[in-house]
């Protein structure tokens, strides 16, 4: 890859080819519960500094962090019924960006209606699956995808963040790289634990492009082509997510050198806990380094982060030597290049943009072991089935990423019937 090509894939600011493409999609940037509790939250997204807020009337906004009056920090703003007020001189802005009030100007020269001439940068915000989503592109905005797992009932959901100090694109390329599971998540893990044994080798790979991204399929020494790894596969969800049935991982670009990892996780509750309604979806941020400043390698997501960051702040793809196992990455790069050119030429919507409301009621995806997430089972039945399918089902703590707070762990264990509702300690 030439250096200028690498820049096209990695630069996400306004006016850049990839930045303009990514602005055609909705991006999760915070948990609903997080902004509900904070009131105002700083947000850096696609290279832009913003603040998210919740007005007293219950609506959410995402506006420029600097007030258009004298550039004061809106993070220190005052929450009002219908907007956010700058604490420096009192100018108030709606979620649309329109200035609603300028206290002194409204008194000194009311006929001028100066406030009608002032807007701040603002982006639409929507709520979906316990997350706040932003759209930063041209109008009319498409729909926030209602992915099939978002429609499932009777599940404990949680939202997990991590701050990753590298470019988003090397994170997303990981989503179409099946062989890394064999080495990083099996063999390296074994070495780290002092076991030293190696897992089953990959024998065959296949990659397919479909409407909503790319699918990779694989055969290992311990499986055949009747296995869901081959018949269903795993999905690199367009443009910046990875889908594995019970969870979706987004690699949300903060800027060219930082990525927000966002994971939405679903655990089906046991049959005797149904119907289960989750009034508040908890959220937490997991660490990437330990107390000694060393990278954490104990969990799957943390191992991925080590791999991504190890490629450099922005991976130098001019030094790569790609092989047959990288065919999915080649397909992904070609699809991104085609979409960037489509946007640059003004030829309509890029890949996976959804505008049909009826279709968006439930956007189906390839799902391995769907019965684990949609069928009613007892806790023991799901554990037995999970063990058979080599899934980590209904374990007492979060297996995917380090750092789950005790409070969230307790909520989960109560929901799964592992501890009574009045329990003060977890297992």
Tokens read off for 247: 């969870």
Helices 327-344 and 3-10: angle between axes, nearest 10 degrees = 80
> Does 314 lie in the same domain as 208?
yes
Answer with the residue of higher pLDDT: 393 or 88: 88
> Does 166 lie in the same domain as 131?
no
CATH number of the domain residue 107 falls in? 2.102.10.10
Last residue of a domain, one of 96, 113, 135: 135
Residue 172 pLDDT > 80: yes
> Does 156 lie in the same domain as 118?
no
Own/partner contacts of 188-194, CB < 8 Å, gap of 24 or more, are: 188/297, 188/303, 189/303, 192/297, 192/298
pLDDT digits (tens, 9 = 90+) for 223-245: 999 999 999 999 999 999 999 99
Cα–Cα distance, 280 to 276 (Å, whole number): 12
Residue 384 pLDDT > 90: no
Report the domain count for the chain: 2
User: Given pLDDT bands bounded at 50, 70 and 90, which one contains residue 382?
Assistant: confident
> Does 395 lie in the same domain as 255?
yes
Last residue of a domain, one of 107, 135, 163: 135
Query: Does any domain span residue 8?
Result: no
pLDDT digits (tens, 9 = 90+) for 274-303: 999 999 999 999 999 999 999 999 999 999
> Does 152 lie in the same domain as 131?
no
Query: Does any domain span residue 324?
Result: yes
Residue 92 pLDDT > 80: yes
Query: Does any domain span residue 187?
Result: yes
pTM confidence score: 0.96
> Does 129 lie in the same domain as 177?
no
Query: Does any domain span residue 20?
Result: no
> Does 159 lie in the same domain as 43?
no
CA 108-109-112 angle, 5° bins:
160
> Does 123 lie in the same domain as 100?
yes
Q: Which domain holds residue 336?
A: 148-415
Tokens read off for 126: 């929507």
CATH number of the domain residue 303 falls in? 3.90.380
> Does 157 lie in the same domain as 269?
yes
């Amino acid at each position: 890859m030439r250096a200028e090509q690498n820049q096209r894939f990695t630069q996400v600011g306004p006016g850049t080819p990839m930045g303009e493409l990514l602005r055609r999609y909705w991006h999760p940037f915070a948990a609903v519960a997080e902004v509900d509790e904070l009131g105002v939250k700083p947000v850096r997204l696609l290279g832009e500094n913003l603040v998210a807020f919740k007005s007293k009337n219950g609506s959410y906004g995402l506006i420029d962090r600097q007030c258009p009056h004298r550039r004061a920090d809106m993070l220190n703003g005052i929450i009002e019924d219908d907007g956010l007020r700058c604490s420096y001189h009192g100018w108030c802005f709606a979620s649309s960006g329109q200035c609603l009030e300028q206290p002194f100007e409204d008194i000194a020269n009311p006929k001028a209606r100066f406030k009608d001439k002032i807007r701040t940068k603002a982006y639409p915000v929507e709520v979906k699956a316990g997350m706040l989503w932003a759209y930063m592109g041209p109008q009319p905005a498409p729909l926030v995808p209602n992915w099939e797992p978002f429609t499932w009932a009777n599940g404990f959901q949680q939202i997990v963040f991590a701050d990753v100090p590298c470019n988003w694109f090397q994170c997303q390329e990981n989503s179409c790289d099946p062989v890394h599971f064999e080495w990083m998540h099996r063999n390296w893990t074994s070495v780290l634990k002092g076991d030293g044994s190696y897992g089953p080798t990959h024998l065959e790979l296949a990659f397919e492009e479909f409407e909503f991204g790319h699918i990779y399929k694989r055969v290992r020494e311990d499986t055949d082509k009747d296995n869901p790894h081959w018949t269903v596969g795993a999905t690199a969800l367009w443009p910046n997510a990875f889908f594995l049935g019970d969870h979706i991982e987004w690699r949300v670009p903060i800027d060219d050198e930082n990525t927000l990892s966002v994971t939405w996780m679903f655990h089906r509750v046991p049959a005797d806990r149904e119907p289960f309604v989750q009034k508040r979806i908890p959220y937490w941020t997991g660490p990437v380094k330990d107390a000694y400043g060393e990278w954490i390698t104990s969990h799957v997501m943390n191992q991925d982060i080590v791999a991504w960051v190890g490629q450099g702040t922005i991976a130098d793809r001019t030094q790569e030597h790609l092989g047959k196992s990288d065919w999915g990455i080649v397909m992904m790069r070609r699809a991104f290049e085609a979409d960037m050119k489509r946007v640059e030429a003004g030829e309509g919507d890029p890949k996976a943009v959804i505008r049909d409301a009826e279709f968006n009621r439930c956007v189906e995806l390839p799902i391995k072991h769907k019965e684990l997430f949609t069928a009613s089972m007892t806790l023991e039945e799901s554990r037995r089935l999970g063990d058979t399918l080599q899934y980590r089902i209904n374990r007492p703590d979060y297996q995917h990423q380090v750092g789950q707070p005790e409070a969230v762990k307790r909520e989960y264990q109560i929901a799964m019937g592992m501890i009574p509702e009045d329990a003060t300690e977890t297992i």
